[in-house]
Each structure stands twice: as structure tokens, then as C-alpha cells.
Amino acid sequence: MRQTLTIATASINTTPLDLDGNLALIRAAVADAVQQQADVLLLPELALTGYGCEDMFFSADWVSGVPAYLSQLAETLPPSMMVAVGFPLLITGGQVFNAVALLSQYQVHGVVCKQHLARNGIHYEPRWFTPWPAGEVMTLELAGQHVPVGDIVFEVEGIRLGFEICEDSWVASRPGRSLYERQVDVIMNPSASHFALGKQKVRRQFVCEGSRAYGAVYVYTNLLGCEAGRAVYDGDAMIASNGELVMSSDRLSFAPWRVQSATVDIGLNRSQRMISSQRLQPAEQRGIVIVPFDWQEEDYHRALSPQTTFADEDPHAAACRAIALGLWDWQRKTYTSGYALSLSGGADSALCGTLVWFAQVQAVLTLGEEAYAQTLAQGRINVALRGDKPLLAWIHDDVMPNVLTTVYQGSAHSGNVTRNAAAGLADEMGALHYDWSIAELVAGYLKLVNDLTPDDPMTWERDDLALQNIQARVRSPGIWLIANRQNKLLMATSNLSEASVGYCTMDGDTSGVLSPIGGVSKSRVLQINRYIMEQGIPLQDSPDLPRLALAAMEAIVNQAPTAELRPVEQTDEADLMPYPVMDAIRRINQTQNVTPKGVLQVLLRGEYAQMYSKEQLVAWIKRYFGLYCRNQWKRERIAASFHIEADSADPKTYRRFPILANQLKRELAEMEAFARQL
């Protein structure tokens, strides 16, 4: 029996429904794993089809064609390596299962099916898949072979391999316990776990604890990139042996695939099972599949992978990288010529534009100039290679004027502070920037309406909201026209905080194909902008340029957020409440699923109870829920956005709420009654 194994993980940037493209990426990853002399390669969950195929998983004609691609992959595998790949399994005449197949050259050795389906957060797996019952095994004809399917363990020359598939490892009754009882040596976890701030720490815990508690090598790999348009996958990959992390990947790479490996000692992990106080039953041999396969000859001179460090997450850097990777994937997967942006000189649009710039720099560094230029050409952007020109100068002079078009659309109430801030930021990035006034357009619409009621013209005292909204809406057609003419994607600039309460103008600042910061709270937007100014965003694959900063962000950071839609001085927080408080209310409500009374109880135990009176907190909670309940129709129409924080305002993938409801009147009254008793 082999004493050691070299195990590789592959994170790949799949595209839903693109079986041929995904297969090509998988084959490229296999080639890299061969170069690393891997014995086993683990690919992510549903890697063959893509995870986000949505209701195409209901298409029997389509799903039934997937096993043929397993055969195509197996035919091209090297003789000395096994590959585990995720795919949807349709049992003819029955239902669809989320599965992983273990392959070697020309062979499909068996299929393990997911037992616990993700149904929380942004995941709706029970809509498409059926959970596999623990302990059940059957035989199916698959890709022309009779294959064992179900809750099985593979034994390969005395080494046992088992699987937990993503959500399986997040539940209390995880299959790892059963795998331990069947004396599994290597537990592999193919995942499609969306990015969210703080989530990597949880993954690390169950990977290391799974290795320690089950006396096994634990292998984890995740999808990479913005696969289907909303969720971003971070390409996280980890291997733990004897309870210690021996491999941890860089996350959020702009590479189309990334393969990393570790050499681990099987015997060392078995020794932990020997001393475990959890009794192993010798008769516990159900679902063991003996695989006729010869490992490559052991290399006794190959060093074991040492314990590796695990750096704490930098939340601002991680959020920037996730959004930038999403922007890059939207740009290349839609074959468009970059982005158009109404650059207001405020915090939200500034961050959107900055992350387009960062995405271009990081893409060049990771892909190389030739591959990057080829990708741009697919979106009708042709740039000459930079030659001797410094990288950032080339991006500024040759790339950004073609990739990002910005327009400052001043109104009668705009000032030079925002105008100059927008111009300065666009200039430092190299964006193609325009400046025009919407004042005449607004005046034209007001004349049309006032001519209908000449004796009753509109006034700010009576028509405040309408007069604000017409300015925001008039900005939409012009920037849309530029986007259409230049084959660009129009970015909306709504953030998570304001989208949650509907503090936005439909068909105004919400206009766009994509809202890049729709998953980022306003508090964090402000913090990130300062971070970009003071520290810069860390870059990967860039020894000579470790961080990317923008000095022009100072003019953005030094402003109070304002919509500039009223003739008098206006700030967003005066219209709403302090952003940190509003974000706390939103986060408590959406992650803890409590009523207004529950939100107040949490706030009273925290820092804001020391800063504000009980009466003020009650008033702000009422304000939040009043806006939240009234504006669900707005959230239904907001452009697609990336999931970045723990919660989201997206009703299609995270938070569902009725469009018509009773405004939570009873629950708000209950909160007020509770507050009066204190």
C-alpha cells in the first residue's frame, strides 16, 4: 500500500451550460496536475456543467447528455491519475441528483451523491435536486458502463477515498462520521460555496476539524469566478493532514483555472484513528467499492508538504477582489467593450469605476499581456501591446479609454466639489470622461408638466420627491445611449444599505445592467474608498507592484455623501439615519431573522445604546422598517449584483419579502410597547 499520496485540487472558472468550454478547462487542469505528479485530482461541485444552470437542471434532454462528457474526459486521462468531477446525475424516469464521479483512464468507477442540499442564503438546491438517502447504493448504466451509485467509498490498493459534497460538511449530521466508521483515508469535498466576507474562516475550521476528528486527509476545492452573474466563487482550496493545514490557496484569482497540490502521509492519519476514543466497528463495511487501479510507484524521496500558515482575511481587499473578478467575468463572458458609468463624484460611483480599473490591471498581471489583449479583442477592443511602456501607463493611455467611459451629469444643484472629484478620478484611471449638464432637460420636463396645470406649478414645498426624482431619471437615457453605442455594460451604483430601504430612484441611479456594489453596505463603501486612498488594493502575481492606490480618491473621501438633488444642502444620512446604525439594523434583521422588537433588543446590548437614546433607536428602527416594507417593489427591479457581505438585498437569490404587506404594523407596535416598559 502507498504510504503517501500527492493530491491536487483544481479551482476552475466555469460557465453554466458550457459543457465544451468547461471540459476544456478541466482538461487544462488535469494537465497541470500531471505536471505536479498528482495521484488524485479533485475538481469542484458540478464542474462539468457549471453550478448555476438554474431550471435547465429540469431539462431531461440536456441533463441526460452530460454522462457522455464524463466518457470524453475519462478517455483522455493519464493512466496513473484518478480524477473526481462534479456533475448532475439524472436517473432515467426519476429525479436529478447532485453528484461526483471518480474517474480514471477509460473508466467511471462510481458516483457519490450529495445527501444534504443547500437551501439557505442564496442557495435553492432542493428546487432541482433530490437528496440521496444515507446508506443506499444502487447500480446504474452510465456512459456505457455499469456503475455503483450512492453512499459509497472507494478502495484503491488499500487506500479508501470518500466524499462530502459542499453542504454535506456544513451540517451537524455530516457524512464524515459514516466515512470515519468505514475507515476512509482521504475525504474529498468538491464545493460551489459562494464568496461572502468571513466565510473562509468557517471553511478552514471544518476542513481541519474533519481531518483531526476523522483521522483522514481532508481535501477541499471550490469553484472560481462569477459563474452565472451574481454569486462570485473564490476558488478557495485547502488540504489538511493530521488536523493541520498543509495547503491553502490564494483566493479570487483571475486565472481561468488554478491547480495546487500537497503530498500527505496516509499512515500518519491512520495512527490518529488507532488512538481515537470513538470505537471503529470492524463489520462497518457497507458501500465499499474495490477499484482496479494501480497507483504510480511511490517516490520515497518526495518531501511531505509542511504545515502552512493561514492569513486572516483583509475584508476590504477581499471585497474589492471579489467585485473586480465579477466585473472582469461579466466583461469577458458577455463579449462587451467594458463599462459605462455615470460618475457623480460621490462614493458609490467612484468605487464602481475604481474596481473596473483594478480589474484590468489584475487581469493583465495574471493572464499576461497577450491573453489579456485577446480577451479584449473578443469584446471589440483592440489595443497594441505595450512594448517598453510601463504597465500602468499602458493601462492608463491605451486600455482604460476603451474600457471605461464616464460622464459627470451636473444639475442646477451640483457643485464644483463633485465635478472636480469626478474629473480627477477619471483622469488618474485613464477613463474616457465627459461632462454635461442635465439642467435644460430637467427644465423641459418641468415645463411639460407645469403647462398641464399653469395655475398650480410644481414647488419644492409640495413636490420635493418628484422634483428630486426627475433629476435622477433624466440622467439615465444619455448614459444608456453611450453604453449602447459603445457596446458597453451600464453600471448602476446602488449599494446594499440604500437598496435595502429603497433610497434610490428607479430608472435613475438604479439604471443599469449590473450593480457592482449592490452587495456592499454604505459603511463599507466609505471605508473601502479610504482604504484605496491610504493603502491600496493588494495585487496577485505582481512582485514589482504589490498594491494599487488612487490619490484622486481623497476628493471623494473628504465629502459627506449627498445626492445633490435639492436646492438646499442635502446629505444622505440626514435623509435616513447614520449609515453604521442603518447597516446594523439591516444586518440583524436579515441574518438573525428577528422582528423589530428583536432588532431593538440586540441594539440595546451593543455600542449604539451607549451612543444614542432608546427613543432615538426606536425611531430609527421604525424608519428602517417603514422604508423596507414600502419598497420591496424597488428591490425586485434592482440590477443584478454580487453577493459580498453576509446578507443581501437581492430578492431573487437571498431575501424574499412580499411586495404588498401590512407594513409590519403589529410588530412595530410590539417594539414600541416593549421600549416603553424599559
Active site residues: 45, 114, 166
Q: Do the annotations mark residue 136 as ligand-binding?
A: no
Q: Do the annotations mark residue 636 as ligand-binding?
A: no
State the DSSP H helix or E strand holding residue 222, giving kind and residue range, or none if neither: strand 217-222
Q: Do the annotations mark residue 4 as ligand-binding?
A: no
Q: Do the annotations mark residue 305 as ligand-binding?
A: no
Of residues 443, 402, 240, 423, the one with CA closest to residue 349 = 423
Per DSSP, the three-state class of 301 is coil
Residues 6+ apart with CB under 8 A from 453: none
Q: How many CA atoms lie within 13 A of 419 on its CB side?
A: 12
Q: Do the annotations mark residue 389 as ligand-binding?
A: no
CA atoms of 476 and 501, how far apart (whole Å): 21
Query: With left for phi above 0 and alpha for psi between -120 and 50, is residue 600 left, alpha or beta?
Result: alpha
Of residues 578, 611, 615, the one with CA closest to residue 600 = 615
Spatial contact of 213 and 182, defined as CB atoms under 8 Å apart: no
C-alpha cell at 333: 463572458
DSSP string, 325-377: HHHHHHHHHTT---EEEE--SSHHHHHHHHHHHHHHHHHHHHH-HHHHHHHHH
Q: Do the annotations mark residue 199 as ligand-binding?
A: yes
DSSP string, 71-126: HHHHHTS-TT-EEEEEEEEEPTTS-EEEEEEEEETTEEEEEEE-SS---STT--GG
Q: How far, in Å, are 404, 492, 545 from residue 489 at the CA level?
A: 10, 10, 29
Handedness of CA 203, 204, 207, 212 (dihedral sign): negative
C-alpha cell at 656: 424574499
From edge to edge, which strands make up the β-sheet containing 404-410? 432-437, 404-410, 339-342, 489-490
C-alpha cell at 592: 438573525
CB atoms inside a 10 Å sphere around CB 502: 21
Tell me the binding residues for L-glutamine: 193, 199
Tell me the binding residues for ATP: 493
Tell me the binding residues: 193, 199, 469, 493, 498, 634
